[in-house]
């Protein structure tokens, strides 16, 4: 039997052992002074466990900061129409709107100032919605009256559980503030949505969208003023909507309203007479529908004729007011204070946005002949200058 008292495997290059010598044969080897100094220096190079943990934590926080800082604080050169961190395009107007909401409501402010405008006195104390069918009292055809549409009107009113002004919109005993949200491109980038939703009455026009534009246009609707061809087709646009008010331009508009309320679709032949496809269903209850009183249209048209005459524009036949101008006059009957957002066409910049949504440009307004937008801008500008209404977006 062979006993190995001394076992080692030497490195062929340097002669140092790769496996330790047997314990019983190992003897301590003195360490020279210069090797002790080198060993001490090597230990000083490494940190303690506590120091190593602290340094690692700081490095980790630093790495996360580099990654997350751009996400929470975007750089100035990252600008886009859809950038939620973008400032309002006019911070002065934004702050002015916020200040207006922070102040108490002033009773009869709009109408008191309106009565001082000589050419607009006829717009005071007008009926807002049609209350009942009164044969023989409508001496003008739609939209200024209901002459020739009496039977159509009677059927529409019969389908409405609560025609006329609802108690919720009565001004008795309460000061109320309205905002009329126009469709103008000036509203784009305003960030006024949260301000708009704070008003007591929020009036919107035709098919102007809310869904997807809440940041600038708000999300709530008290009254959507519209005619059949301009009714939104998406059910999303009727969410958070209290009321639809129909502007009647022809007898068939009343038949459409009756069909929407009763859920009885119009005949194919009737639909052929609309100049655009109309919706068959609006997801609101029958008590949510009203008919705008034709006096609003008729009286507003008379005032706008005076402004057209001031400009020497008396040709081209009758020019009916836009839904926006009609909505402003309606708001003055409903509320003590009225604000406007998204109003004002700037015909000097034909490539500017026409609406706060879509890609249509201002130049398309030159082709229309139904409305006198120049007369309306003068009219609305006078209302702003006289303190009758407040312009939140600054284009009037």
174/179 Cα distance (integer angstroms): 16
Of 286, 293, 277, nearest to 232 by C-alpha is 277
The partner residues of 138 in beta bridges, in order of sequence, read: none
- For residue 130, what are the domain limits? 109-391
- Do the domain assignments include residue 69? no
Q: Give domain status of residue 9, yes or no.
A: no
Answer yes or no: are the C-beta atoms of 324 and 182 closer than 8 Å. Answer: yes
Handedness of CA 113, 117, 121, 123 (dihedral sign): negative
Nearest to 112 by CA among 390, 396, 386, 392: 386
Return all residues near 62 (Cβ < 8 A) that are at least 6 apart.
Answer: none
The domain total for the chain is 1
326-361 pLDDT, tens digit each: 999 999 999 999 999 999 866 566 667 778 998 777
* pLDDT for residue 5: 44
pTM of the model: 0.77
Concatenated DSSP letters of 47-115: PPHHHHHHHHHHHHHHHHHHHHHHHHS--TT---TT-TTPPPS-HHHHHHHHHHHHSPP-TTHHHHHHT
Asked if residue 311 is part of any domain, the answer here is yes
- Asked if residue 35 is part of any domain, the answer here is no
pLDDT reported for residue 200: 97
Task: Tell me if 13 is assigned to some domain.
Answer: no
What rounded mean pLDDT belongs to the chain?
82
Domain holding 230: CATH number?
A: 3.90.1480.20
Q: What is the pLDDT of residues 171-228, one digit of tens each?
A: 777 899 999 999 989 999 999 999 999 999 999 999 999 999 999 999 999 999 999 9
101/359 Cα distance (integer angstroms)? 32
Instruction: Give the separation between CA 143 and CA 293, rounded to whole angstroms.
Output: 9
Distance from C-alpha of 218 to C-alpha of 241, rounded to nearest angstrom: 12
Between 229 and 21, where is the model more confident? 229
pLDDT digits (tens, 9 = 90+) for 42-65: 445 445 666 666 766 676 666 545
Q: Which tops the pLDDT comparison, 339 or 67?
A: 339
Residue 203 is assigned to a structural domain of this protein: yes
Which pLDDT does position 71 carry in this prediction?
Answer: 37
Q: Which position has the token pair 């409405």?
A: 160
What integer pLDDT is reported at residue 244 of this predicted model? 98
Q: What is the pLDDT of residue 142?
A: 95
DSSP symbols for 135-157:
TT---S-TTS--TT-HHHHHHHH
Tell me, yes or no, whether 65 lies in a domain.
no
373, part of any domain = yes
User: Model confidence at 1, in pLDDT bands (50, 70, 90)?
Assistant: very low
Write down the pLDDT at residue 293: 96
């Amino acid at each position: 039997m062979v006993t190995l008292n001394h076992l080692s495997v030497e490195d062929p290059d340097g002669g140092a052992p790769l496996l330790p010598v047997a314990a019983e044969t190992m003897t301590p080897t003195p360490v020279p002074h210069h090797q002790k100094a080198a060993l001490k220096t090597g230990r000083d190079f490494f940190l303690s466990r506590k120091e190593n943990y602290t340094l690692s934590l700081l490095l980790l926080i630093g790495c996360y900061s580099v990654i997350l800082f751009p996400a929470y604080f975007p750089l100035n050169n990252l600008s886009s129409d859809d950038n939620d961190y973008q400032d309002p395009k006019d911070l002065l107007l934004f702050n002015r709107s916020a200040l207006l909401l922070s102040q108490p409501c002033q009773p009869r402010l709009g109408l008191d100032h309106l009565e001082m405008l000589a050419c607009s006195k006829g717009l005071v104390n007008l009926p807002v919605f049609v209350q009942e069918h009164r044969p023989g009292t409508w001496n003008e055809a739609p939209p200024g009256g209901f002459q020739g549409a009496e039977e159509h009107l009677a059927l529409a009113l019969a389908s409405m559980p609560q025609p006329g002004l609802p108690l919720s919109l009565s001004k008795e005993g309460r000061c109320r503030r309205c905002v009329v949200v126009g469709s103008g491109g000036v509203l784009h980038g305003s960030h006024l949505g949260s301000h708009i939703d704070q008003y007591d009455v929020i009036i919107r026009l035709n098919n102007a969208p809310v869904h997807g534009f809440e940041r600038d246009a708000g999300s709530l609707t008290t009254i959507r003023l519209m005619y059949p061809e301009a009714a939104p087709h998406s059910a999303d646009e009727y969410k958070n909507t209290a009321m639809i008010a129909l502007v009647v331009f022809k007898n068939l508009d009343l038949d459409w309203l009756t069909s929407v309320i009763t859920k009885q679709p119009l005949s194919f032949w009737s639909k052929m007479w609309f100049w655009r496809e109309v919706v068959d269903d609006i997801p609101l209850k029958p008590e949510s529908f009203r008919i705008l009183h034709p006096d609003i249209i008729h009286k507003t048209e008379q005032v706008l004729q005076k402004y057209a005459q001031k400009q020497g524009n008396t040709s081209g036949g009758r020019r009916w007011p836009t839904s926006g101008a009609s909505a402003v006059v309606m708001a003055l009957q409903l509320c003590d204070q009225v604000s406007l957002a998204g109003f004002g066409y700037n015909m000097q910049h034909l490539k500017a946005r026409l609406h706060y949504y879509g890609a249509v440009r201002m130049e398309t307004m030159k082709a229309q002949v139904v409305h006198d937008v120049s007369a309306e801008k003068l009219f609305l500008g006078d209302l702003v200058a006289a303190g009758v209404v407040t312009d939140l977006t600054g284009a009037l």
